[in-house]
Amino acid sequence: MNSKGFARRLRLLSTFKIAARALRRNKLRSALTALGIIIGVGAVIAMVSIGNGAKAQVEAQIAGLGENVILIFSGSTTASGIRTGWGGAGTLKIEDAEAIRREVPQVTLVSEEVVSTAQVAAGNQNWFTRIYGESADYFDLRQWALADGAPFTQQDVRSANKVCVVGRTTATQIYGSEDVIGQVLRVKNVPFQILGVLTPKGLSSQGTDQDDIVVMPYTSAMKRVLGGGTTLRNINAQVASSRDLAPAQQQIIALLRQRHNIREGRDDDFTVRNQEEIAAAATATTETMTALLAGVAVISLVVGGIGIMNIMLVSVTERTREIGTRMAVGAHGRDILTQFLIEAMTLSVIGGIIGIITGIVASKIIAILKNWSSLISPTSIILAFVVSAGVGVFFGFYPARKAAQLDPIDALRYE
Amino acid sequence: MSNSSDAAVRLDDVRKTYKTGEVEVQAVRGVSIEIGRGEFVALMGSSGSGKSTLMNIIGCLDRPTAGRYFLDGEDVSSLSRDDLADVRNRKLGFVFQNFNLLSRTSALENVELPLLYSEVALTGVQLREKAERVLASVGLEGRGDHTPSQLSGGQQQRVAIARALINDPEVILADEPTGNLDSRTSVEVMEIFQALNNKGITVIMVTHELDIASYARRNIVMKDGLVCDDIRVQNRFNATAELEKMTAGEALEVAV
């Protein structure tokens, strides 16, 4: 029994040798067959890497909003009657923000936010940029450190001082490489003193330059840039941990409904979203995209597999006499089956390995050319490899069985 | 009945019937012959005489419908497909009309082929040495790296003979071995067969050429699925002598 098993193993070893010789005899055909798998696996790896890269980028940007942040927008997407959308109707008051700060214990940081665009100028340079009015908590809440200088203080907010912090882009556009700290920037012709420069953040996922910005106390913005008004576009609140997100959100909703005198059964006139919801929505989009890309790539892998089956079938017909000769000199049906299976598997595994390398290189090249990020996951590599080997067995089996079942007499006489 | 007779091949009332739809074709209708060790038999007959079917049975490529077949004393009439393959590998060597060499494959690798399917596994070096030795014995020393397309017809048939010899077979079966060769090359192949036969190897050869059959020791003629004639060859040709005559004749032609 043991010696029989040993003999069988030796025979399998010979079959590997036979299959390797057969593949070497038809180098061009082998290469072209493997090409289908190379393209298939390469496409899977490249597409999944780019998809994962996009997902990671979106996740990083959402994390950039700050941790455990709750966003409260004025207006509601579900208000009955006239619907104004987020930030539309000015329903959020400064007092609402103060009430949240005072009455919701989980909330650690609150920033009142107003947003505008304005012409800013200094010397003979001017620039059109976004103006953000915020509280002094803003920089901690967004985890946005200053590259230089200092942020404005609560005192500045209280007194509506004419001070601001600028983004890198705005600073460069107005002052070039000059030091901007202490310079006077005119916003809608009101002079503001620049206290600091924010660290650059680059482009957002929507492609806007996040560094093209002027941040000032919201009180100053409302009084001097927006020209009066008492409503906020939104309130950003931060809670201590992600466990506090849901209860804090409930309390904020209850508090604001009460403050806005909204009766039972009526819709809110504000919208509350937490960061996790926003993150889930955004990553769902990129996940759909990744799945779509991978789907297209898997189709090309299947096409590659059919290519292998096609070539192996042609090869069985073309090599009928060879199969007959092998059987005449002592090959069993199983030897022929194994040989053809090994041939198919070798092609798909070699194709798979080259495909993995091609896919990695391709995703890197695309990432560089298109300025996208790519993230190669080991799972996708292992999966692509296993799938390509599986494709070899699956699509190689039918032709191999066909070859093994040939009658040696007919095969020898085949013209 | 002694199964361990001295015969290399013994057929007892062997029959083969093919069914093509409703019609039954009796290709071999009861053949009993004995071919001793060291014989050189030419199996003859017109097409449809059943000689190819009989050859397939003797070559263990096919099983008889009825009757028994002893090869080297072993009853092989009802062996399984795989067991027949092992018997072919161990005891038989095949030479075909169209050589059946693997294309784009070196002569050495072609000769090694049966060893790859044998029970005894050899290392790459052993395979190569053995193949080189056998190739040299058929006069193809140093041509081991040539592929079939780089060899003449006669040389290709020598490679095929070397392949048949590699497993030290009991019997060499040749199916029209000279069918694709010119007359001189045919005689050269016969010279190899006679030399092998003189060393004691049994050779069974199908041919329809009378002069080729005259190189054998015994001629078996088939007709309508039966043996109709079984004779010792009188005035047997000696291939070496014939080749010398041919060379002399050519020299004479050149001189004239």
The CATH number for B89's domain is 3.40.50.300
Say if the Cβ atoms of B118 and A330 lie within 8 Å. yes
How far is Cα B134 from Cα B163, in angstroms, rounded to an integer? 8
Say if the Cβ atoms of A13 and B61 lie within 8 Å. no
Nearest CA in chain B to A22: B105
Q: What is the pLDDT of residues B128-180, one digit of tens each?
A: 999 999 999 999 998 999 999 999 999 999 999 999 999 999 999 999 999 99
Say if the Cβ atoms of B89 and A330 lie within 8 Å. yes
How far is Cα B158 from Cα B134, in angstroms, rounded to an integer? 10
Classify residue B140: in a domain, yes or no.
Answer: no
Classify residue B213: in a domain, yes or no.
Answer: yes
Q: Where are the domains of chain A?
A: 9-61+281-413, 92-259
Q: With beta carbons under 8 A apart, name residues in chain A contacting B56.
A: 409
How far is Cα B245 from Cα A2, in angstroms, rounded to an integer? 59
For B74-86, letters b (16+ CB in 10 Å) and e give eebbebeeeebbb
How far is Cα B150 from Cα B143, in angstroms, rounded to an integer? 10
- Number of domain units in chain B: 1
Using CA atoms in the order A277, A281, A287, A292, what is the torsion angle rounded to 10 degrees? Answer: 160
Check: pTM over 0.90? Answer yes or no. Answer: no
Measure CA A330 to chain center: 58
pLDDT value at A62 more than 80: no
Distance from CA of A32 to the nearest CA of B (A): 18
3-state secondary structure of B173: strand
Q: Which of A61-70, A103-112, B152-161 has the lowest mean pLDDT?
A: A61-70
Q: With beta carbons under 8 A apart, name residues in chain A contacting B119.
A: 7
Which of B90, B102, B114 comes nearest A322 by C-beta? B102
Strands (E), A181-243: 184-187, 190-198, 213-217, 231-232, 234-239
Classify residue B201: in a domain, yes or no.
Answer: yes
Per-residue confidence band for B227, with pLDDT thresholds at 50, 70 and 90: very high
pLDDT value at A86 more than 90: no
3-state secondary structure of B106: coil
Nearest CA in chain A to B57: A409
What pLDDT, on a 0 to 100 scale, did the predictor assign at position A5?
65
Say if the Cβ atoms of B86 and A14 lie within 8 Å. no
pLDDT value at B256 more than 80: no
Distance from CA of B85 to the nearest CA of A (A): 4
Q: What is the pLDDT of residues A128-161, one digit of tens each?
A: 999 999 999 999 888 888 999 999 999 999 999 9
Say if the Cβ atoms of B117 and A330 lie within 8 Å. yes
Classify residue B182: in a domain, yes or no.
Answer: yes
What pLDDT, on a 0 to 100 scale, did the predictor assign at position B147?
94
Q: With beta carbons under 8 A apart, name residues in chain B contacting A410.
A: none
Distance from CA of A359 to the nearest CA of B (A): 34
Q: What is the pLDDT of residues A188-200, one digit of tens each?
A: 989 999 999 999 9
Output the average pLDDT for chain A.
Answer: 86
> What count of CB pairs under 8 Å joins A to B?
68
Tokens representing A169 are: 């882009």
Per-residue confidence band for B59, with pLDDT thresholds at 50, 70 and 90: very high
Q: What is the pLDDT of residues B2-42, one digit of tens each?
A: 444 579 999 999 999 998 888 888 999 999 999 999 999 99
Tokens representing A114 are: 């107003």
Distance from CA of A394 to the nearest CA of B (A): 25
Domain enclosing residue B69, as ranges = 7-99+170-255
pLDDT value at A77 more than 60: no
With an 8 Å Cβ cutoff, is A11 touching chain B? yes
With an 8 Å Cβ cutoff, is A334 touching chain B? yes
A6's CB contacts (< 8 A; 6+ apart) are none
pLDDT value at A117 more than 70: yes
With an 8 Å Cβ cutoff, is A408 touching chain B? yes
Tokens representing B154 are: 């006669």
